Structure 1
Amino acid sequence: MAILHNLGYPRIGEDRELKRAIEKFWQGKIDESELKNIGQQLRQQNWQTQQSAGIDLLPVGDFAWYDHILQLALTFGVVPSRHRHNEDASALTQLFNLARGTSNEQGNQAALEMTKWFDTNYHYLVPEFEANQQFELGHSPLLEQIDEAKAQSLPIKAVVTGPLTFLYLGRFEHEQKLLLLPALLKGYQQLLAKIAEKGVDWVQIDEPILALELEPAWHQAFADAYQTLGQSPVKLLLTSYFGSISIPLSDIAKWPVSGIHLDLIRAPEQLDAALNQWPIDKVFSLGVIDGRNIWRSDLNYWLDILEPVNRSRGDNLWLAPSCSLLHVPVNLEREHKLDSELKSWLSFAKQKLSELVALGHHLDNKIDETDRYYLALSQQVVASRAQSLRITNPAVRSRIDRLTEDDFHRANRYPERAKIQHQSLKLPLLPTTTIGSFPQTSDIRATRSAFVKGDITQAEYDAFIAGQIDEVIRRQEQLGLDVLVHGEPERNDMVEYFAPYLNGVGQTQYGWVQSYGTRCVKPPVIYGDVSRAEPMTVRWSTYAQSRSDKPVKGMLTGPQTILGWSFVRSDIARADVADQIALALRDEVDDLQKAGINIIQIDEPALREGLPLKRSQWLEYLNRAVRAFRLCASIADDATQVHTHMCYSQFNDIIASIAQMDADVITIETSRSAMKLLDAFKDFNYPNEIGPGVYDIHSPVVPKAQWMEKLLILASEKIPLERLWVNPDCGLKTRDWPETLASLQVMVDVARKLREQFKNS
């Protein structure tokens, strides 16, 4: 009989209860005890939902206050020296300090770097390892959560990120990371022993770096580490996802682990070899429900595959989603505004559990009415999507077919364009700007909500937005910024905003997923061929430009980011969808410049996160991603300055591709790394203009002038002054106005000071 288990459940709650509670705690509206009570309630709700669905083995340890990697770092005492000044702080306060940064009499204490979790839109906090790092088991939320679940007599397995992945994802500047592994393993042995003492038999130990093309030294480290950990008094389910395992299963089979989990959604091709290589007396867990996307499963397809496996593996066959359900929304039942056809095609976390249970029950010949419903619905959905007229748009396909090589190139190269742009824009040395968004105040959110509910008219809403733009323009002019933005008060999210203007794209009402910390997004649903239904940004961009004599940037989100931050159809190649999006954006770029917008920013923060996990597949992806960007940007005239923005990126590996994008100006996140990310641009001799972020917008701390000046001087040593811009790391929508104005004033003042200093030197 197949065992049904889950690798992880969304931690935010159906209505983002965790986000709201943490932000109330930060604001001083609730205390730590109240916050912890809310977290406990969410965990209990999640366990109840999973158990009621029919899951046999529930995950404990998938809940985290801000990020699971940050939480693991604190569990083992991995705290940078700059954050050890307040040892009396509670564990929770210390966690938030590491995530958001602090300030004291010694200056700003930068938060941990944040970067993408493999190729997902989730961000993790990067652990910082030091020489002679020790990994002593300290306060462990996992152990506390096990006590909670045990008190309810729940059937559970513990969930923890494995030591090799933890080490690989961290930062260590002294020597090879693997030299830290023996000390780290001692910490893991302590943790596993504590788990065993609490009566837990199974530990799901997640090692997603197994999907990477690892160097031989890491292969050997895996073997050595699991020979050690396999002696622990618990059974280890070695869990990989997001791709095929890079170490032969025949090798892993020799390690003293009790089971393996394979992601058959991302890498179905690995099943045949695995059946031959994995011992029949060890647990064989298969990820057969998509944990990364929201389309309903073809259960008949999986039944055909799994029935012979079930016969041969019996009780040692476990079934699960492909990965944690962290990456999908919580509950489709709340989506009352979706049209019935599109809604029938979708499945959120709660529904995915029911799909999994229906699959397992059918294999074991014990289906009930709920199982029959999901099996029948699966068949209906497969037929419906195959026959639906809303999937294919002949006009879009024809336009793609007519593209020529000229459609992917600007009229002239950057040096010629730069001369024209510098003459027309007349910007000073070290021009200052922001990334695009300004604070989304409670007034903005309340007014948008009132408009959506029909409580105010279109005219009233438009007047409100115009007033917000007027205020943003006025404040930027008072600050002395050189290139302005309209602040994006009309936009709920940099991707979601575009969905209503695009054919083939749908929206959810409650489809929230966690991006990082308390930041949640509602990804659009790309279900068919994409085209622009009407202009998307021209109205408010031109209005903003009419309110100032300074240039105001038009703001667009690039094709790879709209693709990467959406739930994307699975019936055609993702790269083909990106080209369709690029054509829609190309029309918008053309309309913006014709309307008098001379600077257009096309943000592509998701460019790097879309990289395949296997490096051997990078080149094909990058070539297609770069061509999609150029397709939407190449319509720009020489006098139109095209910007792009990227954040959370390690640029060294893809710098040549970034250069091939041929944006006139790129703005990037660099403050948390103290400008070290600029080394890639210096070593490569990046030819165009760069705006390195000079302060971290994710921290509530107002940066000190000395810190910002130091960063800009470092930047000037790596980038020629005439090609250097000054800007924050990212958009400012999550910040409050007082700290935003204070931080930007420091930035402008420092830029002016250095402008004069460099002129006179």
Structure 2
Amino acid sequence: MKTHVLGFPRIGARRELKKALEDYWAGSLSPQDLISVSNSLKERHWKIQKDSGLSYVATGDFSLYDHVLDTSVMLGAVPERYGAKASGIGPDTYFQMARGDVGGNIAAMEMTKWFNTNYHYLVPEISPAQRFSLSSPAIVKDTRRAIELGYLPKPVLVGPITYLSLAKGEGSFNVWERIEDITDVYAEVIAELSTLCDWIQIDEPVLCGDLAPEAPWRFLETYVKLNQAVGKAGLLLTTYFDSLDEHLDLALSSGCAGLHIDLTCGRNDPYDRIVERLPEDMSLSVGLVDGRNIWKTDMTKALSVLRDIEKRIGPDRLLIASSCSPMHSPVDLNLETKLKPEIRSWMAFAVQKCEEVCLLGDALSGKNRDETLRANAEVLESRLSSPLAKNEAIRERCAGISEDMLHRKSPYRERKKAQSWLDLPIFPTTTIGSFPQTPEIRKNRLLFKRGELSRDGYKFFIEKEIHKVVKIQEELGLDVLVHGEPERNDMVEYFGERMGGFCFTDNGWVQSYGSRCVKPPVIYGDVFRRAPMTVREFSFAQSLTSKPMKGMLTGPVTVLCWSFVRDDLDRSEVCRQIAFALRDEVLDLERSGAKIIQIDEPALREGLPLKGRDAEAYLRWAVEAFRITSSGVDDETQIHTHMCYSEFNAIIQSIAEMDADVISIESSRSRMELLDVFRVFEYPNEIGPGVYDIHSPRVPTEAEIMKLIQRAAEYIPKERLWINPDCGLKTRGWEETLKSLKNMVAAAKAMRIGHQDF
């Protein structure tokens, strides 16, 4: 039998790709050196997979920014505004598509979440005039290079049905009209790859969700053509993030030589239903090592499944695999030397997941079976019985929730009157929370962490930064201020460090998009707040100004989704524990004088199950968690929340049920198209649609921002319309931040003067 993983993290164990990209963008690294770094990482990752004992190494899974963007480039699907011909898609065009063009004032492509993960992809743009051709042979070149180095490659492609399902048509154009043209390019790529390898992995995770009406019949005709092109190799149709369920027949009818299923998430429909109906000429790749979490695999349980499948289809048709690409996991647990040994023993990162897949193969073949099972069982038992994981007081508090904990004292209309003390102008301006995290901030945080800067010295530095940010905001003329969050390393990690039940890694980085990496906390036990977490910095900031200052928190669903979550307790229960911990913080902020408190929930949409049938249950407990957090305050206190880079139209009713006084949302990259939902849904409270894209370094003009505000005012009554950026400004530089905010405030003031004209 064969073993493989569906991909590997790109960033490098020490974020080598991040550093190279940012040096390249800054002009201090040449294009040749950037390619050299990327080639070195590819070869290192192939070696890791081979040395682990895997049968195949993944090629085509590496990307300088995003694998969906790479697919667009491969197809020649470059929007006209970038001016590139199919034969000339170089690094400048590539990064303009990802980040925009500052000098040319060209906007970046829209970005949103990859299914229900925290990874962001660049949304393909398809126009009626778009022509497709094989424009980048990168996957073929990488596959040839792997062969030269002595590896057995398994190229990885984003499947055409998933690609078009994620794409966006120009205007009302139906992207499915271009499926045949796109399929021709895929067939050309597959034909060339098929001469080089045994398997070609073609990812169609969209089959695990709700398909567009055109997708099923387009799927069948597309795969007829692809299988004709595949030659001696086999297409491995790869699905993940959920179970196939109603699309099983479609997958089994694909004509592909193999099918991959994810048995680690979703409802896990009985695998025997798949095995019973598996065509005799189709192999089955079984994903039992979780590519999205950091806990060790239960070998006994996994082997039981594998033995049963092997007995029924034979070892020659069985592949053992990770559930999905481990790109959603940190790279190497061996770099973590400071974790408690007991907790560390429960974990496996991407390198270790490769080893786990091979261990399953060995154990199934009878190699080291008893030793492997015994060692694994001992670790799992130590985790289940560990006192580190359970706190009875926390569980009793969560079980004692009452109805009044889930509701504000009065409805929004009455709260609005009680909040009149704010005396804000029409189109009030604010930011989402963070301001640029400069090298000086990061340096001082590191010195403090290492013990080379005293607590008093660090406090003095942070207060100096807060003072600077408050002064800048007052000079800009913003109406509602923030303290800038200079003390926060990450919007989830910061809170996790101050709550029980969390632990932290030194090198557990995961790519979010491009060079942006996050280091998710690990929730291993019951969650509680140790002490106030944000009150001191808020109180200091508010003392510097007479303008209202927002208290800033990360919401319970986002803390949950952006952490590696324990898998021995239902996610809804973990989320409720986080909500009660944050409720205590909200009430302490209010007592300290915070009358505007923002509870960010950018991950609310991300946590939504892929299948619509499962959405209601998730949204019920997610909204409940937010309301536990927010509902204890007085009517005079204004609750804000923020959501970004998610298609939220399908869940607008649930967002309304959160009952925040103000929501701010990403909408600039889509040019306010995300607000279409408000034509049919009358959102009852106040809204701040983002008026400029903070994920691009370009500075929007005042006129550009005014145009977006005018569009937003077509959807939202001007009395309930706030003006703010798309997201926090942590990753931006000060020069572009000041220019952008200056234009934003000027646009808002101009709109106030002429607000009766539209």
TM-score, normalised to structure 2, is 0.97
1:700 positional shift: 0.5
- For 2:514, give the aligned amino acid: G
Aligned equivalent of 1:58:
57
Aligned equivalent of 1:153:
150
1:85 positional shift: 6.3
- For 1:684, give the aligned amino acid: F
Superposition pairs of residues 356-435 of structure 1, within 5 angstroms: 356-367=357-368, 375-421=373-419, 423-435=420-432
Cα displacement string for residues 396-433 of structure 1 (whole angstroms, at most 9, x for unaligned residues) = 11111221111100000111111111x21111111110
The SS at the match of 2:155 is strand
How far apart are the structure 1 equivalents of 2:517 and 2:567? 24
Aligned equivalent of 1:462:
459
Contact 1:134-1:184 within 8 A present in 2 as well: no
Contact 1:528-1:569 within 8 A present in 2 as well: yes
The 1:212–1:541 alpha-carbon spacing in structure 2 relative to 1, beyond 3 Å, is same
1:263 positional shift: 0.4
1:86 positional shift: 8.7
How far apart are the structure 1 equivalents of 2:642 and 2:248? 41
- For 1:400, give the aligned amino acid: C
- For 2:310, give the aligned amino acid: N
The 1:639–1:248 alpha-carbon spacing in structure 2 relative to 1, beyond 3 Å, is closer
Contact 1:9-1:326 within 8 A present in 2 as well: yes
Aligned equivalent of 1:97:
96
Aligned equivalent of 1:38:
37
Aligned equivalent of 2:586:
589
Question: Which residue of the other structure, out of 618, 626, 636, is the alignment partner of 2:633?
Answer: 636
1:220 positional shift: 1.6
Superposition pairs of residues 236-315 of structure 1, within 5 angstroms: 236-267=235-266, 268-312=268-312, 313-315=314-316
Aligned equivalent of 1:130:
127
Question: What RMSD in Å do the two structures reach over aligned CA positions?
Answer: 1.6
Aligned equivalent of 2:353:
352
Superposition pairs of residues 680-719 of structure 1, within 5 angstroms: 680-719=677-716
- For 2:395, give the aligned amino acid: R
Contact 2:194-2:200 within 8 A present in 1 as well: no
Contact 1:219-1:247 within 8 A present in 2 as well: no
Aligned equivalent of 2:117:
120
Contact 1:249-1:277 within 8 A present in 2 as well: no
Contact 2:336-2:505 within 8 A present in 1 as well: yes
Contact 2:107-2:669 within 8 A present in 1 as well: yes
Cα displacement string for residues 709-730 of structure 1 (whole angstroms, at most 9, x for unaligned residues) = 1111111121111111111000
1:282 positional shift: 2.2
The 1:404–1:182 alpha-carbon spacing in structure 2 relative to 1, beyond 3 Å, is same
The SS at the match of 2:687 is strand
- For 2:31, give the aligned amino acid: E
Aligned equivalent of 1:12:
11
1:301 positional shift: 1.2
How far apart are the structure 1 equivalents of 2:65 and 2:623? 33
Superposition pairs of residues 457-536 of structure 1, within 5 angstroms: 457-536=454-533
The SS at the match of 1:286 is strand
1:315 positional shift: 1.5
How far apart are the structure 1 equivalents of 2:684 and 2:34? 50
1:373 positional shift: 6.4
How far apart are the structure 1 equivalents of 2:191 and 2:86? 27
Displacement over 6 Å in runs of 4+: 85-89
Cα displacement string for residues 485-512 of structure 1 (whole angstroms, at most 9, x for unaligned residues) = 1100000000011112111111111110
The SS at the match of 1:230 is helix
Contact 1:358-1:372 within 8 A present in 2 as well: no
- Residue 754 (1) aligns with residue 751 (2): yes
The SS at the match of 1:318 is strand
The 1:79–1:90 alpha-carbon spacing in structure 2 relative to 1, beyond 3 Å, is closer
The 1:104–1:30 alpha-carbon spacing in structure 2 relative to 1, beyond 3 Å, is closer
The 1:209–1:291 alpha-carbon spacing in structure 2 relative to 1, beyond 3 Å, is same
Mean Cα displacement is larger for which, 322-331 or 137-146?
A: 137-146
Superposition pairs of residues 211-222 of structure 1, within 5 angstroms: 211-215=208-212, 217-222=214-219
Aligned equivalent of 1:228:
225
How far apart are the structure 2 equivalents of 1:440 and 1:557? 18
Aligned equivalent of 2:740:
743
How far apart are the structure 1 equivalents of 2:371 and 2:482? 51
Contact 2:430-2:478 within 8 A present in 1 as well: yes
The 1:698–1:215 alpha-carbon spacing in structure 2 relative to 1, beyond 3 Å, is closer
- Residue 615 (1) aligns with residue 612 (2): yes
The SS at the match of 1:231 is helix
1:103 positional shift: 4.0
1:673 positional shift: 1.0
Query: Tell me, which stretches of 5 or more residues in structure 1 are unaligned?
Result: none
Cα displacement string for residues 425-480 of structure 1 (whole angstroms, at most 9, x for unaligned residues) = 11111111000000000001111111111111111111111111011111111111
How far apart are the structure 2 equivalents of 1:345 and 1:629? 30
- For 2:238, give the aligned amino acid: T
Contact 2:102-2:697 within 8 A present in 1 as well: no
1:760 positional shift: 8.0
Aligned equivalent of 2:440:
443
The SS at the match of 1:390 is helix
The SS at the match of 1:690 is strand
The 1:202–1:88 alpha-carbon spacing in structure 2 relative to 1, beyond 3 Å, is closer
Superposition pairs of residues 653-672 of structure 1, within 5 angstroms: 653-672=650-669
Cα displacement string for residues 572-616 of structure 1 (whole angstroms, at most 9, x for unaligned residues) = 211111111110110000000100011100000000011111101
1:236 positional shift: 0.2
Contact 2:73-2:89 within 8 A present in 1 as well: no
- For 1:637, give the aligned amino acid: D
How far apart are the structure 1 equivalents of 2:669 and 2:475? 28
Q: Matched residue pairs, number? A: 753
Mean Cα displacement is larger for which, 226-235 or 557-566?
A: 226-235
Contact 1:358-1:375 within 8 A present in 2 as well: no
How far apart are the structure 2 equivalents of 1:253 and 1:99? 36
How far apart are the structure 2 equivalents of 1:215 and 1:599? 41
How far apart are the structure 1 equivalents of 2:525 and 2:225? 50
How far apart are the structure 2 equivalents of 1:327 and 1:634? 34
The SS at the match of 1:357 is helix
Contact 1:280-1:316 within 8 A present in 2 as well: no
Query: Tell me, which stretches of 5 or more residues in structure 2 are unaligned?
Result: none
How far apart are the structure 1 equivalents of 2:748 and 2:160? 44
How far apart are the structure 2 equivalents of 1:63 and 1:534? 42
- For 2:107, give the aligned amino acid: A
Contact 1:212-1:246 within 8 A present in 2 as well: no
The SS at the match of 2:463 is helix
